[in-house]
Structure 1
């Protein structure tokens, strides 16, 4: 009987040992652990916490950004591994316009004077104009140098045949900031001409000026101040403001041999001077010589020089 019990005990011990060996991880080289208790088994089966582990008394801090990306500053041209887009010549929206914008503040009345559109706008202004060019580069430079000195703008009423002969002079005048006006092609009296002839005289000038400068004139002055109704009609059809003048310098009556031309020219202007004066001058050597003193005299009397681009293109 004792032998049977002993044999049974041995069999049970062998079975326990076999069970313990089979409970280890398959392929594991680690030493097997003792069987866990029931409570330990239930705890192991519970899902692990999803919260990050922290050291007691501290909070885990995020990893710092790479220095190359965090320290990249605008205008360096690139960030870490990323090349900045190349700059272009197009300004950003809201940027300054390339072309100068001049507000419209004045209009022309039936006396060809310049009048403010609203109360509070300076009315003590004059409009400077020069007819019968472009003639010579030296004269253009002289006139423009003086205008620039006084921060003044002027209309240069040109003849088409002169531009045809010397387009480079119109290019020069335009590049120096002269405002180009239309003075007909041949400088003829237009008031007795047919509509067809007047149209050709004006529109041929419009075309050649636009061809040379890229811009068609917006002002028209008929030669000798005689455009007639047909001249006014054709000017309006081409979007131009028709004008003669309200103050004449009479520089065209002077001769090279005359003395005291500067004083005479200034007197001719100041004797007729009034607010809004539309002053007629010409591209002449003595006018160029007198211009600085004339503009200084006008400024001394409290006058400023209206920018032609601030004038409406319709007469009131």
Structure 2
């Protein structure tokens, strides 16, 4: 019995020694691999101090791949974000089925005028998570370039409303080019971005206005719903109610609403946007509208 027991014990020892010698490397390093995979999935790697330079280079490469991927994704989002266009009546229309139809485009003409009024309007837009196109006149920008920068810095799109507030349709092509292109250059010089939207004063650009706008990569538009705020005056009572009535009576999906930088419009804006939201409308981001440059 003693000899048999000794033989069994010797065999067991030899087997145990053999198993230890053949243990897989992956089993010994599995925890480290899991940690590295987790770091990579978070967009960066934590490189221990005792890693060699090759390891650091690999980690930096992995991070740049993630960053480049994010940039490509952002570019893709920007490229597919043009979900609307304007029809011949200047209404906002979805490009395809399944895109929300009950939307409104907000616009303000004839600025920039006063910082307090601009801030009040944009404060209200921010409250309702809305964007609006601010169509500016060149002569006003020349007087107060800081107001143009205010609109831009607060994240609102700027449109071209020509240099003067004149009827363009009867002007020569040279005059119309000067009226439009001078504003294009001025806005770009001040904000770094040239406008992509053009609205002729009085809604009267004519064929020449359309031609020059297109040559400058501008989307030509007038409006499909007028607030009639420009017909009001300081002494008129109940201007907010009148503005609400003017807009809601014409309201329809895709409405392109014309307003102005006027004190009573700034005062009525919160009530107007609240009423529109209650009716189930949402405010379209002008950047989602196709323009000729697209």
Cα deviations by residue, 1:109-149 (Å, 9 ceiling, x for unpaired): 11111112222222111110000111111112111111111
Residue 244 of structure 2 corresponds to 266
Residue 153 (str. 1) matches residue 128 (str. 2): no
Instruction: Look up the match of 1:285.
Output: 263
* Count of matched residue pairs: 258
1:146-170 alpha-carbon deviations (Å, 9 max, x no partner): 1111111111101111112221111
Task: Tell whether 2:176 aligns with 1:198.
Answer: yes
Is 1:92 equivalent to 2:72 in the alignment? no
Supply the distance in 1 between the matched residues of 2:154 and 2:14 (Cα, whole angstroms).
80
Which residue, 194, 199, 203 being the options, matches 1:216? Answer: 194
- Unpaired runs of 5+ residues, structure 2, are 1-12, 40-44
Measure, in 2, the Cα distance between the counterparts of 1:90 and 1:155. Answer: 37
CA, structure 1 residues 263+95, in 2 after alignment: closer, same or farther (shift >3 Å)? same
Alignment match, 2:281: 303
Q: Match for residue 189 of structure 1?
A: 167
Deviation at 1:90, TM superposition (A): 9.8
User: How high is the TM-score relative to the length of structure 1?
Assistant: 0.74
Deviations 1:226-266 (A, max 9, x none): 11111011001111111111111011111122221111111
Give TM-score scaled by structure 2 length. 0.79
**Whole-Å separation in 1 of the counterparts to 2:66 and 2:230:** 47
* 2: CA distance, partners of 1:278 / 1:301: 16
Looking at CA atoms only, which structure, 1 or 2, has the larger radius of gyration? 1
Is 1:80 matched up with 2:50? Answer: yes
Question: Once the 2 structures are TM-superposed, how far is the Cα of residue 98 of structure 1 from its aligned partner?
Answer: 6.4
The whole-number CA distance in structure 2 between the counterparts of 1:109 and 1:252 is 25
The CA deviation at 1:221 is 0.3
Structure-2 change in CA distance of 1:267 and 1:232 (3 Å): same
- Distance of aligned partners of 1:151 and 1:193 in 2 relative to their CA distance in 1, 3 Å threshold: same
Q: Cα distance 1:110–1:204, how it changes in 2: closer, same or farther (>3 A)?
A: same
Say which SS state the counterpart of residue 229 (structure 1) adopts. helix
Mean Cα deviation higher: 218-227 or 113-122: 113-122
Q: CA RMSD in A?
A: 2.7
Higher helix content, 1 or 2 = 2
Q: Does 1:256 align with 2:234?
A: yes
Task: Determine if the alignment matches structure 1 residue 165 to structure 2 residue 140.
Answer: no
Q: Deviations over 1:150-198 (max 9, x none)?
A: 1111111011111122211111101111111000011111111110000
What corresponds to 1:44 in structure 2? Answer: none
Cα deviation, 1:260-280, whole Å, max 9, x if unaligned, reads 111111111011111111100
Residue 82 of structure 1 deviates from its aligned partner by 4.0
**Map of 1:40-189 to 2, 5 A cutoff?**
58-59=17-18, 61=21, 75-80=45-50, 82=52, 84=56, 92-96=67-71, 101=78, 103-189=81-167
Deviation at 1:78, TM superposition (A): 3.7
Between the aligned partners of 1:196 and 1:78, the Cα distance in structure 2 is: 67
Distance 1:90 1:283, change over 3 A: farther
